[in-house]
Chain A
């Protein structure tokens, strides 16, 4: 297994040539990291047969849906061993302080294997929020445990995120907004369209941070959460396409595999195109964030990163929103096409397809709706002439 590569933020792809965006590609180490996660989360996992992690993300998602969180939590412990839970935690708090691209690699694989649990929340948004708040006491209390995988975190942030996802497995539940971050207690549970997502109302507890400094930290957490969700959507879309191609090659009607019919081929080609052109937007967003984000430095903290240009933060918001829009649209197309190609068998709870289909539907509005993200892109484009050209 290749552990997390710990790419220093902003150095993932070398300095971008003048006037061009950073080259939106993964490093060889990041490819290996992805392959390791794929092996670990896949159904052919090397986990002991019958052991808690056996069957990979898909089997764990089914058990999670039934209320048995143990196989899923075993996978989370394995992810912690690879460093995944510490990717967004700065080194001084026991994490890896890795780049946003490393985080994207991990979340893409999580989506690909339908990993249950608060992925965007615990791996990305909460560590980013605590780090950006810059309160050493809070960081010391929570970040080392998050990095070690001893604590899983989640949060609600109404109105966009009205519920805390999987708060019943979380050791840290937050209620966050631009004005305050509070500890929170899980209340009534609501089922999600994705049976492996458990949604909880929260009751506000004592304030952990208040005042004008919270807004920037919350904005940072929102960006990381949206980026992680976009990555999950891309990974889920890939899984849906792969399942569809396999099915279309095996299912025979009229004496031929249905994948030999042009109507089916062209639908799947359109899915491949959508995913292919969403991916560079996702990777570029990760690199933009690494380039100019408030805690871009390896040690994290609002003051340790490279100075942001006047448009650095703006472009990061623009690029993350563009990535979320494109990844959600591509995953949506992948889901609709996958169901149509599978036919009735895909409409059953029994078929694995249901795990990805329902996850896509749940993730599309999570961490900002398509309308909100498009509006954010438009705001950036119309704020200054330069943004539209670059």
Chain B
């Protein structure tokens, strides 16, 4: 990866842990002073989306939006260890959900690995400031887990491509500005050949977005209909026909390090222990054991990620082992949230984000999607069995 986020573990900088400790303190202090006291409205409402966009701009102004990116794009060249520390503090402070996460955690790593300098210069700074919020456009009505079954097409035209077809389950597309996805550019090629990675404007002529309310009633994803939507050549990532390989490298980021950092789960586990201390019947050993197991799981994920960071720093790659983590964190998240709901008893049913414990239900509904998105856990288990264990196909 060239020109990408720094990957040294931060230990060889001659400042031992001091640099990281100072960074942790800076992040914690800034968050303590800036995180809204009351939770923002849901990111999947028009008002909430706008408020979250404002929050991202505050983060960017403090150069905390994309700490692991190079300075020229708005980052700090932070090491992966510093990124882990940032995430721990971010989640410990119960800071708002990252409205730009599709772009930050999925598209940006792809641009660092496969984009052009022009694309990075043009796309990354407005992404970091949330001036452009990105939606992902992978799935189609007939292409979910079987992503190679994609049928949406891009036809050659003067200076670019014309997109046609339908995408669905596109996270954030209801309010986002732009989207990235795979399109079939060679109709004669089989399956995963002949696909191209393209960027398009959600407000361009020929785009129709139909929001889809999720379990919580808010349109967290949408269908996207495309009818002759023009994309200039400058917005093709990598070479035409290379889309599958490029998307797979993005998918490995999504399953691996960047999408779900350990800080998210260690913070939730600590809040769960706090809830247990406040609200539990100490004699309920069955529930106590679930609290302990959730805490152990969060710690295991944190330690495992640390070891992975060490391996990456030594020149290793994530590869198929990302699938181990994806199954683990998505099931851990569900266990955490369900344990909290069982602790809350009948009060768990009440939907009120303003209540101190109202977050659990919201996070539970969110966690239900974890085993499905970013490649279902069944697909991940296939990858683990065939590519890591070497079982026959």
Contacts and interface: CB of A to CB of B under 8 A. Distances in A.
Partners in one complex: yes
Interface string A1-36: 000000000000011111111011100000000000
Nearest to B269: A388
Contacts of A245: 389-391
Given A24-B306, A260-B393, A378 B288 contact: yes
B82 to A, nearest CB: 9
Contact of A388 (B17, B274, B288, B293): B274
A379 to B, nearest CB: 10
A388 B390 contact: no
Interface residues of A, number: 49
Contact of A270 (B17, B88, B381): B381
A239 interface: no
Interface stretch (B46-54, B94-102, B294-302): B294-302
B10 A268 contact: no
Contacts of B297: 277
Interface string A210-248: 000000000000000000000000000000010001001
Contacts of B390: 245, 249
Given A17-B20, A249-B392, A374-B293, A326 B273 contact: no
B303 A256 contact: no
Contact of B92 (A257, A259, A266, A389): A389
Contact of A322 (B16, B296, B385, B393): B296
B157 interface: no
Interface in A332-374: 371, 374
A265 B378 CA distance: 10
A382 B324 CA distance: 30
B145 to A, nearest CB: 13
A23 B306 contact: yes
A381 B266 CA distance: 13
Contacts of A256: 392
B239 interface: no
Interface in B300-341: 300-304, 306-307, 309-311, 321, 324, 327-328
Contact of B324 (A262, A272, A281, A389): A272
B382 interface: yes
A326 B306 contact: no
B20 A325 contact: no
B149 interface: no
A171 B13 CA distance: 52
A276 interface: yes
A389 B378 contact: no
Interface string B3-30: 0000001110000111011001000000
The 7 closest A-B pairs by CB, nearest first: A18-B21, A265-B385, A280-B303, A269-B381, A269-B384, A388-B273, A259-B391
6 contacts: A17-B20, A265-B385, A265-B389, A268-B391, A269-B382, A325-B293
Interface of B: 9-11, 16-18, 20-21, 24, 81, 84-85, 88, 92, 266, 269-270, 273-274, 276-277, 285, 288-289, 291-293, 295-297, 299-304, 306-307, 309-311, 321, 324, 327-328, 378, 380-382, 384-386, 388-393
